[in-house]
Amino acid sequence: MTAPFGTRLRQAMDTRGPLCVGIDPHAALLAAWGLGDDVAGLERFARTVVEALAGEVAVLKPQSAFFERFGSRGIAVLEQAVAEARSAGALVLMDAKRGDIGSTMAAYADAFLAPTSPLFSDAVTVSPYLGFGSLRPAFDAARASGAGVFALALTSNPEGHEVQHARGADGLTVAQSVLRHLAAENADADPLGSFGAVVGATLGSIDADLDINGPLLAPGIGAQGATPADIPKLFGPAADNVLPSVSRDILKLGPSVGALREGAARFVDETRTAIG
Ligand SMILES: O=C(O)c1cc(=O)[nH]c(=O)n1[C@@H]1O[C@H](COP(=O)(O)O)[C@@H](O)[C@H]1O
């Protein structure tokens, strides 16, 4: 039985450094790499990122949308990238942001969290906005396969505020409610729970209890304006559980494998220096 995702993530962050690099094959990035905006370009892009970073960084985060753009052939590239990244030692966080009623969520859990699936990943991002309880099948599947789940809580985009800061009858913000649910899922975990929150590093200030005994995926560094130095200021005592996520600011350094590796190493160094 594989160790729980949280245990594997803690070890990877400690040994390879606190960094998640996104595999986001934007059309503009394909062009910048001299690749066509087609399946051949997509495959070359994904394989180059995996070759450069799967043996180096703790987590790779393929953004499903950029593969779905090419239909089933794009998904075939995604399947290949996930398998190759995992076999090279990276943890793979599938960024799919899936959310639906429980019976449908079970099918999404099959797609990304069942070991028999061609898209089986170490973790997946999910959207809690059909009610946190609708995610139960994903948490159950993750527990069964030693995988993880990251639920959106305080996203990096400015539009998130209107939903995530809304308050329920209990007086809690939607975001705080999600965080409390995650803390309950992680209650007995040691050294780190397998159920994380997505908390943007672009937020300036966070008025929420981030003590969830789980990982905090922090996107928004680089292209969205945040820096590693923002992490200790923003996350305070939870900074040790922060997994900074960078996509465009590292990917733009490609297609050179060496440049991609240097860029990732630089972000790891800056984060470790900032957190201390
Ligand atoms: O779930 C995510 O990773 C995510 C959450 C969030 O709040 N903001 C956010 O930008 N992301 C993802 O992070 C990636 C953008 O990273 P950058 O290119 O570094 O800005 C995209 O794949 C986004 O979908």
Q: How much is the pLDDT for 239?
A: 97
pLDDT digits (tens, 9 = 90+) for 60-93: 999 999 999 999 999 999 999 999 999 999 999 9
Q: How much is the pLDDT for 18?
A: 98
Give residue 265 CA to ligand 1 midpoint distance, Å: 20
pLDDT digits (tens, 9 = 90+) for 210-225: 999 999 999 999 999 9
Q: How much is the pLDDT for 13?
A: 98
Residue from 245, 248, 260, 267 to probe ligand 1 pocket by mutation (most atoms less than 8 Å from CB): 245
**Over the chain, what is the mean pLDDT?**
97
Instruction: Give residue for tokens 């934007």.
Output: 26
Q: Percent of the chain beyond pLDDT 90?
A: 99
Q: Which residues line ligand 1 (CB under 6 A)?
A: 22, 24, 63, 95, 97, 125, 155-157, 198, 200, 219-220, 222-224, 245-249
Q: How much is the pLDDT for 216?
A: 98
Residue from 20, 53, 63 to probe ligand 1 pocket by mutation (most atoms less than 8 Å from CB): 63
Residues 6+ apart with CB under 8 A from 200: 154, 155, 156, 157, 160, 218, 219, 220, 224, 226
Looking at the whole model, is its pTM more than 0.90? yes
Write out the H or E segment, with its range, that includes residue 148.
strand 148-154
Q: How much is the pLDDT for 254?
A: 98
> In the predicted model, is pLDDT for residue 228 greater than 90?
yes
Q: How much is the pLDDT for 237?
A: 95
Average pLDDT over residues 148-152: 98
Which residue owns the Cα nearest ligand 1 atom 22? 63
Q: How much is the pLDDT for 108?
A: 98
Residue 114: what residue type?
A
Which residue owns the Cα nearest ligand 1 atom 11? 219
Residue 1 pLDDT level (bands cut at 50, 70, 90): confident
Domain spans in the chain, listed from the N-terminal domain onward: 5-275
Give residue 219 CA to ligand 1 midpoint distance, Å: 5
Which residue owns the Cα nearest ligand 1 atom 15? 247
In CATH, what is the architecture of 5-275?
Answer: Alpha-Beta Barrel (3.20)
Q: Percent of the chain beyond pLDDT 70?
A: 100
Q: Please tell me the distance from the alpha carbon of residue 273 to that of residue 276, in angstroms, as a whole number.
A: 5
Give residue 1 CA to ligand 1 midpoint distance, Å: 31
Q: Please tell me the distance from the alpha carbon of residue 93 to that of residue 90, in angstroms, as a whole number.
A: 9
> What sign has the CA pseudo-torsion 256, 42, 156, 104?
negative
Give residue 220 CA to ligand 1 midpoint distance, Å: 6
